[in-house]
Amino acid sequence: MRARFEKLSLREREVFDGVVRGLLNKQIAAGMGIAEKTVKVHRGRVMDKMRVDSVAELVRVSVLLGAATKQDGVRGHG
């Protein structure tokens, strides 16, 4: 999972963080200063690269990544 996360671009990581925090595409777009359509593109790439089919799975991956980075003493993604 960590290797998949590390393959995300900076923008994709920002979208990842917004999605797992429960933000709407419109809210993520406003926070990043980009178009909502662009968020949708990044969100699709995040889902593909992380190999998940739902937001619930993405949140689960986020929790597991957070736990793994805390155990390793490495700063997490969010």
Give the tens place of pLDDT for each residue, 22-61: 999 999 999 999 999 999 999 999 999 999 999 999 999 9
pLDDT at 70: 52
Q: Look up residue 69 and give its amino acid.
A: T
CA distance 76 to 2: 10
CA distance 58 to 35: 22
Enter the CATH code of domain 2-72: 1.10.10.10
Query: What are the boundaries of each domain within the chain?
Result: 2-72
- Out of 11-25, 37-51, 63-77, which region has the weakest mean confidence (pLDDT)? 63-77
Q: Dig out the tokens for 24 from the structure.
A: 């709407």
**pTM for this entry:** 0.84
